[in-house]
Chain A
Amino acid sequence: MNLDSLLPNLGEWLRGTGPESDVVVSTRIRLARNLADLPFATRATATHKADVIRLAKEAVAKCGGAHPLEYADVQAMSPLDRQFLVERQLISRELASGLDGPRGVAFDPTETVSVMVNEEDHLRLQVLRSGFALDEAWRDIDRLDDALEQRLAYAFHTQFGYLTACPTNVGTGMRASVMLHLPALGLTKQIDKVFRALQKINLAVRGLHGEGSRAFGDLYQISNHVTLGKSEAKILDEIREVIVTIMQYERQARAALMKERRQAEHDRVARAIGTLGSATMITAEETMELLSAVRLGIHLHLLDGIPVTAVNQLFIHTQSAHLQKLAGHALGGEERNTARAKYLKTRLRDLDSHK
């Protein structure tokens, strides 16, 4: 597969138009599944892994759906292509560079559905959707799971449920996560309070790039921790309830910002756009911080002429593998900062002229 064909497009999940998209960027559900008669990754030989891939490819090819999934061999890929798929959220960092041996990913052209093969579990099914869409994501992944199960014998235990390589995933094997943009809670210094409350109720909070990563650009992922002893519907209900509450807090904080310091916020947003459009060198981190201000500015109507989709595109295209693909060759750290600034300047000028 030539991944360059993905470059001009944006995955469906980055449309920026789903339900509650002023706060919720995207919804993702993952299911961990293993095949009954093959050892888990730590015990699997290259032959076992090749067997998993063969079986998975056959099942994926026959599982139909509106958009067929196409398989890409991650082991054979360049490090740049692997990073590119990580930035598009189609594969995990682990599958990209934390593992050896035969492994891959099948995904559809809209980048809504993907199936990682030979990650920590034999299969990791994933559905990604724009906005707050837990029910839709569950419906899609449940259907995909049923279709795959017709052709694959899953490792399932009547007491423990779907068996996984790590006991933290056993049972439903389901991890649902919702990515939130919470700039106003950050600005009003309430974010830590919210997260302390979340940890008490056993939900995990992470930055954009998963475990331990700092929340650049005010983006946070909230996901369930428990996978055993509750039904999928119950787990999703619990997350939903919490997300609804956090959305309320964020919107209240936004309303307070507009009431108490509208002029200062307007200034901050204007400066962010100014810097993005005029810098000659800029890091990925600074870009994310500034785009966060722009995104908030759009939702607070402090800024017009820039659609949220364009902000999302800037956000993806200014990450390092995307920049290098756009440039057509590898770039060092400093070169990346220059290329990023140039890209931002050009894109913002285009948007401005289309107003």
Chain B
Amino acid sequence: MSHRGTRVLRLDALARVEGEAALHLRVQEDTVTEARLRIYEPPRFFEAFLIGRAHTEPPDITARICGICPVAYQMSACQAIENACGVTVDGPLAELRRLLYCGEWIESHALHIHLLHAPDFLGRADAVELARDQRAAVERGLRIKQTGNAILEQLGGRPIHPVNVRVGGFYRTPAREELRPLAERLRQARDDALETVRWVAAFDFPDATSDHDLLALCDPGRYAIDSGTPTATAPHDRTPTPREFAVPDLEQHVHEEQVPHSTALTAALDGRRYLTGPLARYAINGRWLHPVAAEAARDAGLGDPLAGDVCDNPFRSIVVRAVEVVQAVEEALRIIREYEQPPRPALDVLPRKAVGTGATEAPRGLLYHRYALAEDGTLTAARIIPPTAQNQTAIEADVRRAVQACLNRLGPAADDEELTRLCERAIRNHDPCISCAAHFLDLTVERT
């Protein structure tokens, strides 16, 4: 329905993301004047009810912020509390945590790639429809996902809200032999993951370039997952010198603001729009990919990550995710190969009056926690900055750009249905987890 000047498009729900959100798009003639992502996931007040809890509780409680990336919450929470208490978990315990995190990356990325995102590129409504003509691909995705879940189950007790994580380490650590069956599955998963990289690399990608600043942890020598220094680049600057700052200083650089249209806060990095997640991680950590993952990236047309090539087409994020699955599989195999069972499942973490911070790389991007503890360990303050809230303005910018490109091509008569689909796709590129920030998309395009 298109009349000159004004028209209103309505999309009641954005599917294949995790959460509830709406998009408001204002178009004047053939110009997008406003793109606003409204997240209306009901608020759940986690930061408020963490106050008064014991310092041992955040890993279990914050896991419930998100069923898709509970390990990310558990890991950032543990790190922040250990940081407050002056304890560093390293050696095999840290390696086991990284292995658990690899499980979550594999599971979450495989879910997003095969069940949520690929249908966009192949013109299918969902994975069920996709499975009707590409059953092998969907089954392969499920197999990879299951391998990720097998790691989570073995180390965490179950895939969603693992029970075996605690401040200081684990309740129980596995013996070497217990991890052997995982290694067998992971070797199969490596073939599957490489096949998936080839599969997604052959999709048709709309031309698009994003110019957001990028923020990811950097852990020189290895692809950052569970630790590192927050590092920002602006890949479109002439002199892209990365900026670094310590985790405890993050809140001096990342400013969150509340906007009237959303229950999620929106963030800026030193006053600029920025993106966190696979594209940022790949730009900042690409040169530390395992050789197998780096080769897969090159073959997939992502350039040479070892030489610092980045990917700035948000639609290709699906390829970067697929490469990260290969990376996580390789990393998991390495950890299992080198693993020796530690003498104790956890270090003692004695509470003290202090503030601690922690940041790790959730599948969707950097996740930061800060807690203030009283002497006996009771929490007196809590602050959590999830990836999707950080990405919200970058997502809006991508939507605006994608719609504008379409209008430039087709003029004001561009089909509403096509614009709507494009918006959804531009959003799904970022695998937004709206339970972390919010869920659902209600799109209204107003044309005046």
Chains A and B belong together in one complex: no
